[in-house]
Chain A
Amino acid sequence: MSSNMIATRDAYGETLAELGGENGNIVALDADLSGSTKTSLFAKKYPERFFNMGIAEANMIGTAAGLAAAGKIPFVSTFAIFAVGRAWEQMRQSVAYPKANVKIVATHGGITVGEDGGSHQSVEDIAIVRAVPNMTVIVPADGVETRAAIRAAAAHKGPFYIRLGRNKVPTIFGEDYRFEIGKGCQLAAGSDLTFVATGLMTAQALAAAALLHKEGISARVVHISTIKPLDQDIILDAAMETGAIVTAEEHSVIGGLGGAVAEFLGESHPVPIKRVGIRDRFGTSGKAEELMKYFGLLPEDLVEAAREVLARKGK
């Protein structure tokens, strides 16, 4: 793991500005948060293709759908809670239903938004977007993967929801990483159990696997960035080969990655599963690192979850 730290939203802003130079059909929309979502970098270079829609997310999503209908490739950004919460039905009706070529890139997902508190901490967005047909849902783990995911979304026709974070996160992937929509990747080999993680929790899972290794427990780490469509092959292999699964996400345990994995394995190859995430509660104010501890998202929490599934597995 590189010691490089970069916020996924910064990687997004830089990549979007690059894409703006490569493809004149790319346009960007924001709802008065362009400095935070980093669409401001695009706005500075291509002001004629940037639309600040003011604090009006519903109209922003609909406008993006119209721009897509006119052949543009709109990237639409605001905080996750507003992109999905405020404008969910606009996303459903105007974007997903017609398969509009709209890329909703939401920043400030999850509890690491920090001090702003529960009103601003989106812990349900993955679940409620995942339930909508035609949506592709991606939660990158680091800056490298964010760049690749943004480029893939621009190149791939159809509606996307990409969830990014506020804070700097460690860089996991090398520059040679090949991102593919709908494909997970194994980051550590292991045979006793598998961590299936997404977003910033993948780094936590890698740390947890290292802790377990010291105890002689062999934990596989599978990173899932595309939560929908889910890479069923890599998850089925993990379940069949390691027999126990711990999912990890900075999101409610209801309906997100943990939900998707449990639904799939429940129907295909049931094994002991523990979903690590926010346990059906709202966020709260605090520093990001305090909140990671408070909500039980640290490597030691994953180690404890691993012990639980191993016990249920009968080891």
Chain B
Amino acid sequence: MKETIANLEDKARELRVAIVRTLHKSQSGHTGGSLSAIDMITALYFHKMRHDPDNPEWTERDRFVLSKGHAAPAQYVALAHAGYFPKEDLMMLRRLGSHLQGHPDSKSTPGVEVCTGSLGQGLSMANGMALGLRLDNRPCRVYALLGDGELQEGQVWEAAMAASHYKIDNLCALVDANALQIDGEVAKVMAVAPIAAKFKTFGWHALEIDGHDMSAILAALEHAETIKGQPTVIVANTVKGKGVSFFENKASYHGVPPSDDELPKALECLGCLD
């Protein structure tokens, strides 16, 4: 297990480097929220989820929905490094004609299940997928990653109500609680705390973890699988921009890519000197 965790930590570092390089190349996209979510995404794609990059449509696969679609670079680097498409494609992020759209598009990108980007809609879609898989008696699980600012969308709570009503226990939601949104602190723009308690009152099983502690992420994902008769949410406290010191905890880096000057410093922060 120790080795697994160390390997996943290495993978997460590698993916952080890929995010920084990808966003530097595109000069457009969301850096902070990609870096805060990448440890969870790494755990899912490189450990927890059953999936087959050579057969993205494999019916028995687990599903991942990036409800906070602006963190698309985090999902794209995971998909590329898992083998869904060549890593070089990442350098075409957000370009005209690229299969890597600004926000996840299932029509364009192998491994992307649904279209997201307009916040608040992913959990509903994850519910529907989980219900459909349950109707077919497939043992697959559905993971939905939401932002904490995203929880301000009313549709999230419609979906939270429905997931509990229909006892969707093949669903696990993860909240990337980095405490920042475009206009500033989530707590100041429109408070969503206490997140875990809110989900609990909606009938969910709720866990709270450090979203950058790989062993805690794996333990939470394992635990979620044992919960029957209700959906589980993992509220992951994270740092926006995690891993690049001068991006960390800055709302101003929500939708800003690394500049030419910042690139080497960012790579240095990530232990990658080139």
- A, B in one complex: yes
Specify which chain A residues have a CB less than 8 angstroms from the CB of B154 in the assembled complex: 58
With A89-B118, A90-B121 known to touch, is A69 a contact of B132 (CB < 8 Å)?
yes
CB distance from A4 to the nearest CB of B (A): 37
Cβ contact within 8 Å between A94 and B121: yes
| Interface members, chain B 119-141 (any A CB < 8 Å) | 120-121, 123-133, 135-136
CB distance from A243 to the nearest CB of B (A): 43
Specify which chain B residues have a CB less than 8 angstroms from the CB of A66 in the assembled complex: 114, 124-132
Cβ contact within 8 Å between B105 and A98: yes
Interface residue? B115 (CB, 8 A): yes
Specify which chain A residues have a CB less than 8 angstroms from the CB of B63 in the assembled complex: 69
Cβ contact within 8 Å between A62 and B121: yes
In the complex, the chain B residue whose C-beta lies closest to that of A100 is: B114
Cβ contact within 8 Å between A69 and B162: no
In the complex, the chain A residue whose C-beta lies closest to that of B134 is: A70
CB distance from A48 to the nearest CB of B (A): 7
Interface residue? B166 (CB, 8 A): yes
CB distance from B140 to the nearest CB of A (A): 9
CB distance from B195 to the nearest CB of A (A): 19
With A48-B135, A66-B125 known to touch, is A93 a contact of B113 (CB < 8 Å)?
no
Tell me which of A61, A62, A94, A97 has the highest count of chain B C-beta atoms within 10 A of its own C-beta.
Answer: A62
Specify which chain A residues have a CB less than 8 angstroms from the CB of B92 in the assembled complex: none
A27→B129 CA distance, assembly (Å): 12
Interface residue? A71 (CB, 8 A): yes
Specify which chain B residues have a CB less than 8 angstroms from the CB of A69 in the assembled complex: 63, 106, 113-114, 125, 128-129, 132
Cβ contact within 8 Å between B162 and A53: yes
Cβ contact within 8 Å between A94 and B124: yes
A67: contacting residue among B121, B123, B129, CB under 8 A: B129
CB distance from B213 to the nearest CB of A (A): 30
A185→B131 CA distance, assembly (Å): 40
A68→B127 CA distance, assembly (Å): 11
Cβ contact within 8 Å between B128 and A93: no
Interface residue? A189 (CB, 8 A): no
Specify which chain B residues have a CB less than 8 angstroms from the CB of A94 in the assembled complex: 114-115, 121, 124-125
Cβ contact within 8 Å between B131 and A65: no
Cβ contact within 8 Å between B162 and A65: no
With A53-B162, A56-B158 known to touch, is A67 a contact of B128 (CB < 8 Å)?
yes
Q: How many residues of A contact B (CB 8 A)?
A: 31
| Interface members, chain A 77-104 (any B CB < 8 Å) | 89-90, 93-94, 97-100
Cβ contact within 8 Å between A62 and B124: yes
In the complex, the chain A residue whose C-beta lies closest to that of B67 is: A62
With A69-B106, A98-B107 known to touch, is A63 a contact of B162 (CB < 8 Å)?
yes
With A63-B125, A65-B125, A94-B124 known to touch, is A70 a contact of B158 (CB < 8 Å)?
no
Interface residue? B155 (CB, 8 A): yes
Cβ contact within 8 Å between B131 and A51: yes
Interface residue? B161 (CB, 8 A): yes
CB distance from B156 to the nearest CB of A (A): 9
Specify which chain B residues have a CB less than 8 angstroms from the CB of A49 in the assembled complex: 135
Specify which chain B residues have a CB less than 8 angstroms from the CB of A74 in the assembled complex: 128
Interface residue? A268 (CB, 8 A): no
Cβ contact within 8 Å between B132 and A67: yes
Specify which chain B residues have a CB less than 8 angstroms from the CB of A61 in the assembled complex: 124
Question: 0/1 per residue, B99-118, Cβ < 8 Å to A?
Answer: 00000011100000111111
Cβ contact within 8 Å between A62 and B161: no
In the complex, the chain B residue whose C-beta lies closest to that of A52 is: B165
Tell me which of B105, B128, B133 has the highest count of chain A C-beta atoms within 10 A of its own C-beta.
Answer: B128
Interface residue? B146 (CB, 8 A): no
Interface residue? A72 (CB, 8 A): yes
CB distance from A53 to the nearest CB of B (A): 6
Specify which chain B residues have a CB less than 8 angstroms from the CB of A65 in the assembled complex: 114, 124-125, 128
Cβ contact within 8 Å between A63 and B114: no
In the complex, the chain A residue whose C-beta lies closest to that of B140 is: A70
A64→B125 CA distance, assembly (Å): 7
Cβ contact within 8 Å between B155 and A90: yes
B158: contacting residue among A58, A93, A99, CB under 8 A: A58
Tell me which of A66, A70, A97, A100 has the highest count of chain B C-beta atoms within 10 A of its own C-beta.
Answer: A66
A59→B158 CA distance, assembly (Å): 6
Tell me which of A56, A63, A98 has the highest count of chain B C-beta atoms within 10 A of its own C-beta.
Answer: A63
Question: 0/1 per residue, A18-54, Cβ < 8 Å to B?
Answer: 0000000001000000000000000000001101011
Interface residue? B159 (CB, 8 A): yes
Cβ contact within 8 Å between B159 and A98: no
A59→B135 CA distance, assembly (Å): 19
A53→B155 CA distance, assembly (Å): 12
| Interface members, chain B 140-170 (any A CB < 8 Å) | 154-155, 158-159, 161-162, 165-166
Cβ contact within 8 Å between A64 and B161: no
CB distance from A63 to the nearest CB of B (A): 4
Cβ contact within 8 Å between B131 and A59: no
**Sample of 7 A–B contacts (CB below 8 Å):** A56-B158, A59-B162, A62-B121, A69-B113, A94-B114, A97-B115, A98-B105
Nearest first, the 6 A-B pairs at minimum CB distance are A66-B128, A62-B124, A70-B132, A59-B158, A66-B125, A56-B158
- Known pairs A59-B158, A62-B123, A67-B132 / 5 extra A-B pairs, C-beta < 8 Å: A27-B132, A70-B132, A93-B121, A97-B115, A98-B114
